[in-house]
Structure 1
């Protein structure tokens, strides 16, 4: 029997939502340890079960220059319209373990007080979907939770991005768990199924760029109308990489996101200043450095990268913002790859600007 996708025949949408809301269809989040249904071995990543419970497979591991504890990194996308994925679908449980969990959850909810009428009918049809091949458009049903194919594939489920603050976006992957054979791509209707490109975007989100303090001359304290030279040596920074990967039986994907510094932008912290060049953006040199170190004999020259302050900072300081722009690209499983939006990360440095004192005789 079939119906329209995501809608069970003979059951209202409201009743279905009520019935399903009590059953957790979301796989473990990408940054955490595997979810343990009971006391399964949380160190495992492949999914499965033991005498104490079921543990799920969907876990993304991060390596390289990434934020600690699965948090967001410090990269800001130069494209304000670009965002990492709020959710995706990934391998969840094998057939026998999925049957164990779903059967327990459905039975528990069907016996709950008030779970009759349309809500109870929705749960019955959900049970039929996984047990008696009840399906709908583009979504076939399953016979006994596909246990005859256990080991030959996995049920996939939605994963919420724990670093997405918008609850509606985070929960927008709302399809029921679906089966994928080992080595096969998910059905085409699941556009948010995990891919190397999604992994690359997640690696971007978790990437941690180095804290880089710009060298200044004069250092920290300068004079009004005296050019301040700014530079970054090649040895101070280099390309940065972050990798995201998922590896379960029959399914392995990875993507590495690479950030390469391309320019330094100076914001003096006051309008009473002139930047060099006028745009304030200092491009990378042929030797991968930025700007030019100050040396004796250059006092009468205009720095290729720097600032001249036109007014004293008084009893305080100016907050010089030095922001590095990084060109970001990615490569992944199967030779996939491409570009991601430029990323930026900046530091503030306190600069004291004094009036030049003169003595009249």
Structure 2
């Protein structure tokens, strides 16, 4: 007795090609769209992007204690490298990449209970204007510390990468580490000295 015939839908190489072609995928080379996307992903992963450096204003390293004070408002400044463009060729596929810098997420380096524990998300940062009076917080990107200690600030920047190659295009989002300072925070006390 012969086995029963398979009555399910059959996807021959020709029907697969017709289906792919109807979706705008070039099938002259096997797995062209998949190969290009994989190559683009590799190019993005190995793309060289400029470093972002976070600085503090006022700069604690310039005072006599080389430290910030508890409750002192610190303003973050951030590099703005602007969009980055590059073209690379891999396995005979030429890929054009455009990387646009996005927000920087800063972890202020909490080491004590009750200190600032929420990461700070900044799209921009700027130094304190010389006309700023008093201990005013930054309107765009800054923090203050409520406990003395040694803090290691860490941060990452989000980049949006757009790629094009052989009529195909795509977008990916990646994060890269940011250069950030370490910080000593001390508690300052006022001392009243009577006139002699």
- TM-score w.r.t. length of structure 1: 0.40
Q: Are the equivalent residues in 2 in contact too, given 1:200–1:244 (CA < 8 A)?
A: no
For residue 178 of structure 2, what is the aligned residue in structure 1?
A: 346
Q: Name the structure 2 match of 1:260.
A: 100
Which residue matches 1:223? 69
Tell me what 2:84 maps to.
240
Q: Deviations over 1:55-113 (max 9, x none)?
A: xxxxxxxxxxxxxxxxxxxxxxxxxxxxxxxxxxxxxxxxxxxxxxxxxxxxxxxxxxx
Structure with the bigger percentage of helix: 1
Q: Distance in 2 between matches of 1:355 and 1:309?
A: 10
Question: How far, CA to CA, are the matches of 2:192 and 2:75 in structure 1?
Answer: 30
Find out whether 1:326 has 2:159 as its counterpart: yes
Q: Distance in 2 between matches of 1:218 and 1:357?
A: 19
**3-state SS, counterpart of residue 238 of structure 1:** coil
CA contact (8 A) 2:105 2:121 kept: yes
Distance 2:174 2:90 in 1: 25
Runs of 4+ in 1 over 6 A off after TM superposition: none
Q: Which has the higher contact order (CA 8 A, sep 6+)?
A: 2
Tell me which of 35, 52, 56 is aligned to 1:194.
35
CA distance in 1, matches of 2:126, 2:34: 48
Seen in structure 2, the aligned counterparts of structure 1 residues 192 and 322 have a Cα distance that, compared at 3 Å, is same
**Residues 180-221 of structure 1, C-alpha deviation per residue, up to 9 Å, x if partnerless?**
xxx97223xx578632x2221111111122222212112243
Normalised by the size of structure 2, how large is the TM-score? Answer: 0.69
1:282 partnered with 2:122: yes
Instruction: Tell me the equivalent position of 2:50.
Output: 210
Aligned residues: 160
Deviation at 1:280, TM superposition (A): 0.7
The alpha carbon displacement at 1:268 in A equals 0.9
5+ residue gaps in structure 2?
1-11, 14-25, 61-66
Gaps of 5+ in 1: 1-136, 139-182, 284-289
Rounded to whole Å, the distance in 1 between the matches of 2:148 and 2:27 is 67
Match of 2:190? Answer: 358
Question: Is the CA contact 1:209–1:345 (under 8 Å) kept in the aligned structure 2?
Answer: no
CA distance in 2 between partners of 1:306 and 1:360 (Å): 31
